Structure 1
Amino acid sequence: MKELLRTNNPVELSFLQALLADAGIESLVLDQHTSILEGSIGAIPRRLVVDDEDYHAARRVLAESGCLPDG
């Protein structure tokens, strides 16, 4: 698994997962339960990850949608 990004914004995560799903790329949000346990104060960002073989395609999808820098 490779990390695409970290964020404290659950709406952004949901949107990004929907973009990836539309492109046929499965994703997973890590640290979601840890973030809830710490009281949802935003101290622990959630990580959006994809399989290693989907990483470059996922970055391309998110970059083309304007959600990631092109780098």
Structure 2
Amino acid sequence: MKELLRTTDPTVIAYAKMLLAGEDITCFEFDVNMSVLDGGVGILPRRLMVADADHFIATAILRDNEVEPGL
């Protein structure tokens, strides 16, 4: 698995997941329950992960839709 996106904005994660699902790319959201540690403030970022083989195309999909992949 490779990290595709890291953000504290849940709407960006939801949008990226929708874009990837439309292209049949499976992705996993990591660190969803970390809000327990930060008291629900949302200061800890969530990560969106994809399989190594899908990383290149997933990055291209996000860039084509003006979502900046990476850290």
Does residue 16 (structure 1) correspond to residue 16 (structure 2)? The answer is yes
* Greater CA drift, 42-51 or 17-26: 42-51
Q: Letter of the aligned partner of 2:26 in structure 1?
A: E
Provide the alpha-carbon RMSD of the alignment.
Answer: 1.2
Q: Distance in 1 between matches of 2:10 and 2:26?
A: 17
2:57 is aligned to 57
1:5 is aligned to 5
Q: Distance in 2 between matches of 1:28 and 1:49?
A: 5
Structure 1 unmatched ranges of 5 or more:
none
Structure 2 counterpart SS, 1:47: strand
Deviation at 1:42, TM superposition (A): 2.5
Does residue 42 (structure 1) correspond to residue 42 (structure 2)? The answer is yes
Q: TM-score, normalised by structure 2?
A: 0.87
Of the two structures, which has the highest relative contact order with CA contacts closer than 8 Å and spacing of 6 or more?
2
Aligned residues: 68
Deviation at 1:14, TM superposition (A): 0.6
Q: Letter of the aligned partner of 1:66 in structure 2?
A: E
Identical counterparts, % of pairs: 37
Q: TM-score, normalised by structure 1?
A: 0.87
Structure 2 unmatched ranges of 5 or more:
none
